[in-house]
């Protein structure tokens, strides 16, 4: 699997915070928050559609075994092949086998997070097959040998100057003094370079936003058209998907499509939403001769049972991370694996283990914006809390935190002792505060607070003691 650096989340985050280019890029963003709101405002049925989308996903998950069987039957009936893969390794090997059977030398790729999850690119390269990312953002990070930092806008952490430097470094067949001042010239260059790769590719690999059981169809949602050139021009089209991508019918998928692009980028529809079913038909003048769908489990069937099932509703729109104050502060790479932001905080521990990814569900203020904007209403903060409960049970939280909590709990469960101790402590602290103008810039044991903030001094005795004194009430 791709190297997991989630255990060093704190260090990743500090580096991200100290990176001025990243901070500037994250502050600028892409206006996704405003655009989503505008799109939602333009559609009175938006919230009703979110309920509908959630219900369709829940129904599908509750009948997933049967829908998978129905889907497989339809794909096969129309000339396609379905391959099931339990593990990432099996998925990689299945893809390689298909490529080897047609002696593939280069493979174009549309954007697919599953490929990142199973670390497909490095594997193919090792085995002598060259993968070429065609989504512009993915292409840019591929030449930088980075992971995507956002599931919709993989290169959101980069600015134009960085992209220009990379193009000059890598496109050595072009005149070194050429003008690359504008984003438009960079795009034109990428278009020309990738057009040649599209036409030369032997195999095209795409992901799938949805798999439709009714018709045996896979759907990709793009704006660039790269996914379509990837899946139409080569001899072979491979779809990489996971089991929870299933949706029962075309009408069901219309419900999901209506909330997907709006939640992701604020568009009513993406430019290209493509439904693919099987290989080219007998009289088709273009299209791939072979159509393969690799359906991966990689831990998801286990998630159906238990408190994380709701996470399988995710349609990978990215709204949660767009609205997350933590993601906006540190960017996607800090999360250390494929999936960043709130959805990454819940999903990553399920897929790589909470012992590796424990920081992710802890680094949240539970502000709730993610759940508020999720098109399929996933209760993300609740599931992050569930992970914290699992860590607590397994004693995975830091010892200092556990003992601090135990100390506090000792008093919190004993009201009389608590009132006595706090009254004494607050009076003392308040007195000390008089020497510091009402606030502390340093406080023993409170280094986490005072590193960046002053700590306001308490007013004096506690409220409970003052109330009792004034009102003469016995408590």
Residues of this chain, 26-85, that bind another protein according to CB under 8 A: 28-30, 43-45, 48-49, 52, 56, 59, 62-70, 72, 74, 77-78, 83-85
Name the helix (H) or strand (E) containing 303. Answer: helix 300-303
Residue (64 or 170) nearer to another protein, CB: 64
Report the distance separating Cα 9 and Cα 335, nearest Å: 6
Give residues 395-414 in contact with another protein (rule: CB under 8 A).
397, 401, 405, 408-409, 411-414
Looking at 285, 399, 444, 472, which residue binds another protein (CB under 8 A)?
285
Residue 295 as a binder of another protein (CB under 8 A): the answer is yes
| C-alpha span between 157 and 327 (Å, rounded) | 11
Size of the site for another protein (CB under 8 A): 177
Q: Measured from the CB atom, is 49 or 352 closer to another protein?
A: 49
DSSP 340: -
| x/- letters, 201..240, toward another protein (CB under 8 A) | ------------xxxxx-----xxxx-xx--xx-------
- The Cα–Cα gap between 466 and 387 comes to 40
Alpha-carbon separation of residue 124 from 80, 106, 144, 200, 361 (angstroms): 23, 10, 18, 17, 32
Does 134 sit near another protein (CB under 8 A)?
yes
Q: Which of 369, 374, 377, 380 binds another protein (CB under 8 A)?
A: 369
Which of 231, 179, 168, 242 minimizes the C-alpha distance to 205?
Answer: 231
> How would you label 296-320 residue by residue, b for 16+ Cβ within 10 Å and e otherwise?
bbbbbeebeeeebbbbbbbbebbbb
Q: Which is nearer to another protein, 77 or 128 (CB)?
A: 77
Question: Which is closer to another protein, CB of 100 or CB of 459?
Answer: 459
Q: Quick one: which of 276, 322, 348, 350 contacts another protein (CB under 8 A)? A: 276
Per-residue x/- mask for another protein, residues 419 to 448, rule CB under 8 A? Answer: x--x---xx--xx-xx--xxx-x----x-x
Do 381 and 323 touch, CB atoms closer than 8 A? no
Q: Least distance in Å: CB of 446 to another protein? A: 7
Q: Which stretch binds another protein (CB under 8 A): 97-105, 112-120, 262-270, 340-348?
A: 262-270
Query: Segment 140-159, which members bind another protein (CB under 8 A)?
Result: 140, 153-156, 159
User: Whose Cβ is closer to another protein: residue 70's or residue 102's?
Assistant: 70
CB of 405 to another protein, least distance (A): 6
Q: Least distance from C-beta 287 to another protein, angstroms?
A: 5
Whole-number Å distance between alpha carbons of 174 and 188:
13
Binding mask 455-474 for another protein (x = CB under 8 A): xxxxxxxxxx-xxx-xx-x-
Tell me if 95 sits within 8 A of 238, measured CB to CB: yes
Q: For 95-129, what is the HEC assignment? A: HHHHHHHCCCCEEEECCCHHHHHCCHHHHHHHCCC
- Residue 350 binds another protein, judged by CB under 8 A: no
Cβ proximity to another protein: between 102 and 189 the closer is: 189
CB of 128 to another protein, least distance (A): 25
Quick check: 195 binds another protein (CB under 8 A)? yes
Q: Is 380 in the site for another protein (CB under 8 A)?
A: no
Minimum Å distance from CB 138 to another protein? 9
Helix (H, G, I), strand (E, B) or coil at 208: coil
Provide the phi-psi class of 365: left if phi over 0, else alpha when psi is between -120 and 50, else beta: alpha
Please, which residue, 177 or 393, has the CB nearer to another protein? 393
Note the Cα 374 to chain centre separation in Å: 12
Interface residue with another protein, options 2, 209, 255, 322 (CB under 8 A): 255
97 is a site residue for another protein (CB under 8 A): no
- Range list of β-strands (E), 110-249: 130-133, 203-206, 210-212, 217-222, 236-242, 246-247
Nearer to another protein, 213 or 338 (CB): 213
- CA angle, residues 198, 270, 46, in degrees to nearest 5: 160
Site for another protein (CB under 8 A): which residue of 120, 243, 264, 314?
A: 243
Give backbone dihedrals phi and psi of 293, rounded to 5 degrees, phi first: -115, 120
Q: Which of residues 318-337 bind another protein (CB under 8 A)?
A: 325-326, 329-330
Bridge pairing between strands 455-456 and 439-440? antiparallel
Q: How far apart are CA 341 and CA 265, in angstroms?
A: 16
């Amino acid at each position: 699997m791709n190297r997991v650096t989630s255990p060093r989340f704190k260090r990743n985050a500090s580096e991200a915070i100290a990176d001025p280019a990243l901070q500037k890029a994250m502050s600028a963003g892409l206006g996704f928050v405003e655009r989503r709101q505008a799109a939602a405002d333009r559609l009175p049925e938006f919230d009703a559609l979110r309920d509908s989308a959630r219900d369709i996903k829940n129904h599908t998950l509750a009948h997933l075994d049967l829908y998978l069987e129905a889907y497989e039957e339809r794909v096969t009936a129309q000339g396609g092949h379905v391959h099931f893969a339990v593990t990432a390794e099996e998925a990689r090997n299945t893809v390689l086998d298909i490529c080897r059977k047609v002696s593939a030398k280069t493979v174009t790729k549309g954007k697919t997070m599953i490929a990142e999850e199973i670390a497909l690119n490095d594997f193919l390269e090792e085995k002598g097959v060259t993968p070429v990312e065609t989504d512009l953002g993915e292409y840019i990070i591929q030449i930088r040998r980075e992971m995507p930092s956002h599931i919709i806008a993989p290169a959101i952490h980069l600015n134009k100057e960085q992209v220009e430097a990379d193009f000059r470094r890598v496109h050595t067949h072009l005149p070194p003094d050429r003008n690359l001042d504008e984003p438009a010239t960079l795009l034109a260059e990428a278009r020309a370079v990738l057009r040649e790769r599209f036409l030369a590719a032997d195999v095209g690999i795409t992901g799938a936003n949805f798999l439709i059981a009714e018709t045996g169809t896979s759907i990709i949602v793009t704006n660039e058209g790269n996914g379509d050139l990837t899946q139409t021009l080569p001899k072979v089209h491979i779809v990489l998907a996971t089991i929870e991508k299933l949706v029962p019918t075309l009408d069901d998928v219309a419900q999901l499509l209506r909330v997907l692009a709006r939640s992701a980028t604020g568009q009513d529809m993406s430019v290209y939403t493509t439904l693919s079913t099987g290989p080219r038909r007998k009289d088709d003048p273009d299209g791939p001769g072979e159509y393969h769908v690799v359906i991966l489990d990689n831990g998801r069937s286990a998630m159906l049972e238990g408190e994380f099932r709701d996470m399988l509703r995710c349609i990978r729109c990215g709204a949660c991370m767009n609205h997350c104050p933590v993601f906006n502060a540190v960017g996607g790479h800090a999360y250390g694996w494929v999936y960043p932001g709130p959805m990454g905080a819940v999903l990553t521990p399920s897929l790589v283990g909470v012992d590796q990814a424990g920081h992710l569900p802890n680094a949240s203020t539970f502000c709730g914006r993610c759940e508020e904007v999720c098109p399929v209403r996933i209760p993300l903060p609740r599931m992050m809390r569930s992970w914290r409960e699992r860590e607590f049970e397994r004693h995975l939280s830091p010892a200092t935190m556990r003992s601090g909590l135990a100390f506090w709990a000792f008093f919190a469960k004993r009201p009389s002792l608590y009132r006595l101790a706090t009254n004494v402590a607050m009076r003392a602290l308040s007195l000390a505060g008089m020497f510091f103008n009402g606030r502390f810039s340093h406080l023993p044991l409170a280094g986490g607070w005072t590193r960046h903030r002053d700590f306001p001094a308490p007013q004096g005795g506690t409220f409970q003691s003052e109330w009792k004194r004034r009102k003469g009430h016995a408590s």
